[in-house]
Each structure stands twice: as C-alpha cells, then as structure tokens.
C-alpha cells in the first residue's frame, strides 16, 4: 500500500496514541505465567503484540480480546504447556528474545520462527548468556543463533552476567530465566535500559531489586495476575512531538503518555534543542510514570546525542533525525551502532531516505551527522518493511514542499495501526 502525504502548514489537536508496545508485550507474557486473570487496559493491537498473543495461546493460555482490553487467564509460573505448533513471532524481536529466556526454563521443547527480517536479527546475545545458565538451543548454525531455532527446556542455574551491549530485551530474557533458576541472577548493564520488566514483574509479586546498573532477581514461588493500565507509547508519541516542534503553526496535546525516565530521552533531547514542550498531569500508574505532553511550534538547534542517552531513545532516532533536518546547525548522533540490528539497518535506511528529500545527512560508523536547514522536497520513499522508518518519513513528508509517496506504508501496523489517520486528523 502506498500513501500520499501532502505538506501541512498547521497542526492542531489532541491525540491519544496507542498503548506502549514494550509494556503490552510484557502484560501478556507475564500475565500468562501469573496465577489468575491479568486484565490489560489500553493494550496495543499492533501486529507485534498480536504475535505475542498468538504464541501464548499455543502455550495453552486462554487470552480474550475485547477491543483494547485483554484478559489473560494466567496459569502460574509452572502452567505453560508444550506447544504442538511452531511459535511464530512475526516481526517482533521483543517476543523472540523475551520468550527465549522464558522457554529455556520450561520442562518442554519449543520451536520458534519469524519473518524474513527476524531471521536476520542476532540471537547470539541471548543464547550466550542463557547457555551459561544451562539453556539448550538447537539451530542450523549453532555458533551464530538465528531464527528458526529450537529450545529444549532445562533446569537452569543462576549466573552473574555483564551485558556487552545495552539491551532491555537481553536483560529481560535473563530475568525471566532467573525467575526459574536456582540461586540469585545478577545482570549488570553498561547503561540503564528500559525497566518495564522489573516494574511489572515486581508489581505481580517478583523479587527484583535494582542498584544503579545492577539488577538482582531472586526466584519466587508465584506471580499474581493484576489489572494493568498500559500508557500511550512514547515511541509513537515522538512522531507528533517532532511534527509539533517543526511545524510553523502547531499545538498538539499528547495524552496519557508513558514517560518512564528510561524511555524519555526524546523529550530531554528535544528540550535541549529548544523545543516548547511541557508535561502536565504527571502520575504513577501500575508503577509506570505517565503524563500529558503539550508540544508547540519551536525553533530547534542542533545537538549531540550520545552515551547513556542512546538506550533512552533508541527507537526514536529515525524521527530525531527528521527533527535535526529542520534544526539550525549540526546534530551528531553517536554510540548508536545498535541501530544497525533493528528491523532494518536504521543508520543506513534513515540516511538513504532523508537524502531523497534533499537533507544534508551522512552515515557514520555508529550513528549519523545531520546538517540542518536544507529545505526538504517531497519524494518517493522506501520503508524497508520497518514501521519506524515509514512513520518518520511520513512526518518528513508533512513538512516537505509538495507531495511525498510512502511505498509499503502498511508496515506502520506493527506498532501504530491508525498512524496515518491520526496524522491527517491534526
């Protein structure tokens, strides 16, 4: 499906973007291994989270959908049953990596697969540490694990593990395995990453403590199903934050957005660039900080984005690059080599596509450099089946002179099924 985007000179209104993808995945996974019903409100009905639901149904869990409310009939820590079919995670790296940790500790064998993109994404990062705990993975290339692969569940032992890359998915896989392991699992992160796993598991009765970048997980006898209210996804809100800043005549209110400090790097960077952003009605819901974000037209300036900021905005870098095209001066993004192993190589795909608009942007080894101020002109862009590239380029299209065509635009369904409608509504 191709979408035609026309330039807009004014953006006004209020948007409630869909539920947080990371939290929606976790609500189903953790609800499945908790005792009793987990009632999830504001669940993201995007393709990735639906893949998680489909995998857990194959593990014997009853999951009912009523609009954006999901009822997970959890069977407790030891209640999953052996799947009789292959577990297909579709495009979802979070599903594949977190489930690897969980399934490694079950008393049965599971086979996992996913789409063409997922089959290229590195899985050694989870296999290396889970194997140290005693996990057994079987794959065509044992030393370079990729989907499809088989997990033979084993009795695991706890380890202390220092993550070589900052990855919430690997940390979460270890913590899930740690729930079942003998002893205390300790994970040390190079930089803090999103901590939704720690927050939600503790909310359901786990015993996880965090001290700086060190996380301790002790085994427990049971988790308990609870009501979970999923906040709107800051990664989806980011497209409207940038559109609101860059558009000459804009005022956009983004309601009930998750602003957990491990995720809110995009707000900090836009503020440092001179954005007119205010946060209202802050409160904590189910352990997660949420608030309304008001964005108005702003004159942005270039900045440097690096170090511990990167994991706090890793998924927002494509749209941040669009913001940088409209900022005065140069923006440098470094320490972001992880972008190369996302749904597409996002250093290459962002730079390639923004160049088509006439942006002055260069790839670097671990990020990109953007010289802002070149006017953007509408063009035809590719999405590489990567939802974040599609949505970032749509925002570039709204701001560019003339008309932009987004080819294969439907991949936005992965995380934001009504994205183009929301953009048009403003």
Which residues make beta-bridge pairs with 291? Answer: 257
Contact 319, 233 (CB under 8 A): no
Euclidean distance between CA atoms 363 and 149, whole angstroms: 33
- 193-213 b/e with 16+ CB inside 10 Å = b? bbbbbbbbbbbbbbebebeeb
Residue nearest to ligand S3P (CB): 22
Sheet strand arrangement including 109-113 = 87-88, 109-113, 149-152, 136-138
Least distance (Å) between residue 289 CB and ligand S3P:
17
Residue 101 or residue 225: which is nearer to ligand S3P going by CB?
101
Answer left, alpha or beta for residue 36, where phi above 0 means left and psi between -120 and 50 means alpha.
Answer: left
CA distance 203 to 174: 18
**CA gap 9, 118 in Å, rounded:** 38
Catalytic residue among 48, 88, 292, 315: 315
The torsion angles phi and psi of 100, rounded to 5 degrees, stand at: -60, -45
**How far from each other are the two terminal CA atoms of the chain, in whole angstroms?**
22
- Taking the least distance from each CB to ligand S3P, the nearer of 172 and 185 is 172
The residues facing 138 across adjacent strands are: 150
Please state the closest distance from residue 204 (CB atom) to ligand S3P, in A: 17
Q: Shortest gap between Cβ of 320 and ligand S3P (angstroms)? A: 14
Cα 169 from chain centroid?
A: 9
Q: How far is the CB of 392 from ligand S3P (least distance, A)?
A: 14
Please identify, using beta-carbon distances, which residue of 21 and 154 lies nearer to ligand S3P. 21
- Distance of closest approach, residue 166 Cβ to ligand S3P, in angstroms: 7
- DSSP label of 261: T
Pairing of strands 330-333, 304-305: parallel
Binding footprint of ligand S3P on the chain (CB under 6 A): 22, 94, 167-169, 172, 194, 314-315, 338
Q: How far is CA 338 from CA 294, 334, 343, 366, in A?
A: 30, 10, 11, 8
Closer to ligand S3P by CB, 166 or 300: give it.
166
Residue 221: how many other CB atoms lie within 10 Å: 8
Smallest gap from residue 208 Cβ to ligand S3P (A): 15
Distance (Å, whole) CA 290 – CA 255:
9
Residue 210: helix, strand or coil by DSSP?
A: strand
315 as an active site residue: the answer is yes
The residue (of 154 and 388) whose beta carbon lies closer to ligand S3P is 388
Residue number, 75 or 194, with CB nearest to ligand S3P: 194
CB of 311 to ligand S3P, least distance (A): 7
Largest CA-CA distance found in the chain, in angstroms, rounded: 62
Nearer to ligand S3P, 179 or 247 (CB): 179
- Inter-residue contact 44 to 69 (CB < 8 Å): no
| Smallest gap from residue 235 Cβ to ligand S3P (A) | 7
Q: DSSP 3-state assignment of 172?
A: helix
Q: State which residue, 339 or 400, has the beta carbon closest to ligand S3P.
A: 339
**Which sequence positions are flagged as catalytic?**
315
């Amino acid at each position: 499906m191709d979408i035609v985007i026309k330039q807009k000179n004014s953006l006004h209104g209020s948007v409630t973007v869909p539920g947080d993808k990371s939290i929606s995945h976790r609500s189903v996974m953790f609800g499945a291994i908790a005792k009793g019903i987990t009632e999830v409100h504001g669940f993201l009905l995007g393709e990735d989270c639906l893949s998680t639901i489909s995998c857990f149904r194959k593990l014997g869990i009853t999951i009912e959908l009523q609009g954006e409310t999901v009822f997970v009939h959890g069977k407790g820590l030891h209640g999953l049953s052996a799947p009789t079919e292959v577990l297909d995670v579709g495009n979802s790296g979070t599903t594949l990596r977190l489930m690897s940790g969980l399934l490694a500790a079950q008393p049965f064998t599971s086979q996992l697969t996913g789409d063409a993109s997922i089959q290229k994404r590195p899985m050694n990062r989870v296999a290396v540490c889970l194997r140290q705990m005693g996990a057994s993975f079987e794959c065509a290339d044992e030393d370079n694990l990729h989907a499809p692969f088989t997990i033979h569940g084993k009795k695991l032992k706890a380890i202390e593990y220092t993550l070589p890359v900052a990855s919430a998915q690997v940390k979460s896989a270890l913590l899930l395995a740690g729930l079942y392991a003998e002893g205390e699992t300790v994970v040390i992160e190079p930089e803090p990453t999103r901590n939704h796993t720690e927050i939600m598991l503790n909310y359901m009765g786990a015993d996880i403590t965090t001290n700086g970048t060190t996380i301790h997980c002790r085994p427990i006898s049971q988790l308990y199903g609870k009501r979970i209210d999923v906040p709107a996804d800051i990664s989806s809100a980011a497209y409207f934050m940038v559109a609101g800043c860059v558009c000459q005549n804009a005022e956009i209110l983004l309601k009930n957005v998750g602003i957990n400090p491990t995720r809110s790097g995009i707000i900090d960077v836009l503020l440092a660039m001179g954005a007119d952003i205010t946060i209202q009605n802050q409160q904590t819901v189910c352990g997660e900080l949420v608030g309304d974000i008001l964005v108005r037209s702003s004159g942005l300036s270039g900045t440097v984005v690096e170090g511990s900021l990167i994991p706090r905005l890793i998924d927002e870098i494509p749209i941040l690059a669009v913001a940088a095209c409209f900022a005065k001066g140069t923006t440098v993004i470094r320490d972001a080599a992880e972008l190369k192993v996302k749904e597409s190589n996002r250093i290459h795909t962002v730079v390639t596509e923004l160049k088509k608009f006439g942006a002055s942007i260069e790839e670097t080894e671990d990020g990109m450099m953007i010289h802002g101020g070149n006017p953007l002109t509408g063009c035809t862009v590719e999405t590489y089946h990567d939802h974040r590239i599609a949505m970032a380029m749509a925002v570039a299209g709204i701001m560019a002179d003339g008309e932009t065509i987004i080819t294969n635009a439907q991949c936005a369904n992965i995380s934001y099924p009504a994205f183009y409608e929301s953009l048009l509504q403003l």
